[in-house]
Structures are given as C-alpha cells and as structure tokens.
Copies of this chain bind each other. A is one copy, B any other.
Amino acid sequence: MSLVIVGTFNLDTIETPQERRERIVGGSGTYCCLAASFFTAPGIVGVVGEDFPKDTLELFKAKGIDTEGLLVKPGKTFFWEGRYEDDPNKRTTIATEVNVLKSFRPQLPDHYRGADILFLANIDPELQEDILAQVNNPRLVAMDTMNYWIQTRAASLLNVLNKVDVFFANDEEVRMLTDELNLITAGKRLLEKGPSLVVIKKGEHGALLLSKDFVFVAPAYPSETVLDPTGAGDSFGGGFLGYLDNVDSYAEGDIRKAAVYGSVLASFTIEKFGIDRLESLSSDEIENRFAEFQKLVSF
C-alpha cells in the first residue's frame, strides 16, 4: 500500500444557477481517490451508510482503489447540500447531516499501516490525528482542511499541521488561519507551523506552492465551462499525491509536475457534475491537457 487517503464519502445535493442535482456521490475522499487512481492504486479510509451506491463502490474497485478501509455501516451516508452563485467561487452550505460519520472511529487495515504517503483529506482534524498515529513511518504526510474546521477546531487543526509535510488549503482558508491578507506572507507563516510545503489553491487563478527553497506558480486551465466546482480542490490533492506516489520521488521538479497534474485533474472535475467527468476520464486526456498547461505558461 503506497498511498492511503482518509476523507469523507458523501451524498451531495448541489445547486448551481443552471441545474440542481440531488444526492449525488461526492466527498473529499471520493474525489481524491478517483483523481489519484489515474497514477497509482490508493487505499481509502472512511465510512458510508447503506444508502451509498453499490455502483460507486464497484467503480472504485474497477479503478484499482483498495476499499478495504471504507466501512459500510447501518444508517445514512454523510450528506451535504450546497448552492453556488453566478460566481462559482462563492458557495453557501444549505445543510449538513453528519449521519454515520458521527460515531466513526477509524481503524486502519493492517496492510495500510506501511503507507509511503498518507493523505489526510478534509475531515475532522481529530480523525486526521487519530489516523496519523496508526501509520508507521510514512515518508510523506499531507493534509487538507476547510473553513468549518478552522472556525470550530483551530487548536486540533494546528496540532495536525505541526505533524505533516504538505498542507493544502485554499486562499480563503490560508488568510483565515494566519489573519494575513498577503498570500506569500501567509504561506511563509504556515511553513513555520510544521509543513515543509504549503500548497495554496486559488481556483480560477491556479495554485501557489511555497517551500523554504522555492516558489512555484501552477496555472489554472482556462475553463469556460464550470458546471460544478465541487471537488476541484480534492481532485487537485488526489492528482498531486497520486503522481508523487507513481514517480516515487519528492524532488522539487516532481513536486512542480505534481502540482500541474493536480491542476489538470481539478480542471476536468469541474466540467461535469459530481464525479461524472472523473468517471469517463482517460489517461490520454490527462496527458494531452498536461501538454496544454505547458504551452499555457511557456515564454
């Protein structure tokens, strides 16, 4: 087991100015493992209820994803309902039902414990810490989070942050965590809190990577069709870590390429609702878009 991903596996109701979809499959773990599956065979950790579609579990397996760490428990799957405004960067949470996630105390399958890379995708920071303690000497630990945990569990979150190598966050979260508007200054502050790499996701403006040694600006794909922005950040993380796991290197050059693959995966995810685009995506399409990214920034 080389990449283990812990995250949420949801049913989401999503409304955009154009369309509404009820109870479609979503969640940080879902987007992340599907994106990573184009590069490696990740194992996943999480919980779903009996209403989680069997087809999706089959899809995971067909994509080479190890689902042994995904529990199916009596009750209902974690549910999130959100609405996007005309500006796809602005979203409002309408409802959250924690359901089976409430009593979730993850136990890693034995063969997950030797993971090279552990990704603590967006989930309660206390669960993130719990999982982290169950993995023996991972070579790379990454985490993501969301504004909700920054507002309600800041201490736990900072505690996990101190133990990880890579921190993924969007621009709003970075500013909220550091109380600093300038993203470069904010990123440097976060580097002082533990991680050796901070990845700031800026949606349509791409991503900014900061380490002690370098700054890298990854462009976003110039998308005209943003059908559903849900899962873009999680797909970025999945593509990023999936690529690193595949090349089995954390050298600067590979980290830069990983960020572009992350951006490529995110750019596909938002083209359709939920996981629809990741489901139909091919490796050739990924490589072609990677080449387009190269053209986008070359001078």
Chain B neighbourhood of A215, CB < 8 A: 222, 296
- B-contact 0/1 string along A147-190, CB 8 Å cutoff: 00000000000000000000000000000000001111100100
Interface size class of A (residues with CB under 8 A): 35 or more
Q: How far is the CA of A185 from the CA of B295 in the complex (A)?
A: 20
A192 at interface by CB-CB < 8 Å? no
A239 at interface by CB-CB < 8 Å? no
Partner of A184 from the list B214, B219, B222 (CB cut-off 8 Å) is B222
Q: How far is the CA of A41 from the CA of B12 in the complex (A)?
A: 60
Q: How far is the CB of A130 from chain B (nearest CB, A)?
A: 35
**CB interface residues, A 121-137, toward B, < 8 Å:** none
Chain B neighbourhood of A104, CB < 8 A: none
Chain B neighbourhood of A210, CB < 8 A: 222
Q: How far is the CA of A299 from the CA of B256 in the complex (A)?
A: 5
Contact A299 B184 (CB under 8 A): no
Chain B neighbourhood of A256, CB < 8 A: 298-299
Q: How far is the CB of A293 from chain B (nearest CB, A)?
A: 8
Interface-forming stretch among A20-28, A63-71, A198-206, A277-285? A198-206
Q: How far is the CB of A125 from chain B (nearest CB, A)?
A: 28
A297 at interface by CB-CB < 8 Å? yes
Q: A205-B205, A222-B208 are in contact. Are A217 and B296 (CB under 8 A)?
A: yes
Contact B296 A216 (CB under 8 A): yes
Contact A226 B182 (CB under 8 A): yes
Provide 25 A-B residue pairs closer than 8 Å at the C-beta atoms, listed in order of the A residue.
A86-B181, A87-B181, A182-B223, A182-B226, A183-B204, A184-B223, A185-B224, A188-B224, A205-B206, A206-B217, A208-B222, A210-B222, A214-B295, A215-B222, A215-B296, A216-B299, A217-B220, A217-B222, A217-B297, A218-B299, A219-B297, A253-B299, A256-B299, A294-B299, A297-B297
